[in-house]
Amino acid sequence: MKQLVFATLLVAIVVHTIFAIDLPPSPPNFAWQEIPELKAAFLRPTGWFFKREEAKGTLAYFITKEDIGKGGEFQTGLTINVFHLKKDSAVERGRDMIGLIASKQHGEKWERDYGPFKEFGCLYKDTDSVVHNLTVANPKTNTLYLFIFESPVSEWDNAWKLGKQIMDDLAIDDEI
């Protein structure tokens, strides 16, 4: 029995080491939400919730102020979609996605290179909410990440203080 417990503990330590990400200390009032299958981590404000879903080959993650496990929806939070593209270019799809959102919503858009990644962003306001969209394309692995941070217009200024911190400190492995 002792050998089984020792072996289980050893496997758990090895698996944690393989999937562990070397992260800096989290800022005050945040914790790192690690996602081992992506070799990624995202800041989660203290008291906020995390949820993972998978549908039709797309991975979706949610870091939200409201518990969507109970109500099924949220007002303030971050949605992360991950697309492992086989045919399309992640860079082109990311650029096109943001271009389409910006033209439909009359949003302000931008793009930049960030290390090995190509980023395309758009900010827009509709009648009820403010939405910050960001696509991060990894040309090496042809993976596209879509980040959507949203909040009601009336709460945007306070929510964006947290959202900006989350969006500025993305920890994504460029090998995935």
The phi and psi torsions of 148 (rounded to 5 degrees) equal -130, 110
Alpha carbons 143 and 137: distance in angstroms, whole number = 6
Domains, in order of start, for the chain: 26-172 (3.40.1000.10)
Whole-number pLDDT of residue 22: 83
Whole-number pLDDT of residue 176: 62
What residue has token string 């943001």?
98
Alpha carbons 61 and 146: distance in angstroms, whole number = 10
Beta strand pairing call for 49-55 and 40-45: unpaired
Whole-number pLDDT of residue 9: 31
Whole-number pLDDT of residue 69: 86
Q: Which residues of the chain have pLDDT under 50?
A: 1-19
Alpha carbons 65 and 77: distance in angstroms, whole number = 6
146's CB contacts (< 8 A; 6+ apart) are 79, 80, 81, 82, 83, 94, 97, 133, 134, 135
Answer for the pair 106, 100: CB distance below 8 angstroms, yes or no. no
Answer for the pair 173, 159: CB distance below 8 angstroms, yes or no. no
Sign of CA dihedral 159, 161, 166, 167: positive
Going from the C-alpha of 10 to that of each of 5, 7, 15, 19, 35, the distances in angstroms are 9, 5, 9, 14, 21
End-to-end alpha carbon distance in the chain: 38
Q: pLDDT by residue (tens digit) across 72-114?
A: 899 999 999 999 899 999 999 999 999 999 999 999 999 999 8
63's CB contacts (< 8 A; 6+ apart) are 33, 42, 43, 44, 45, 48, 49, 50, 77, 78, 80, 166
pTM for the model stands at 0.85
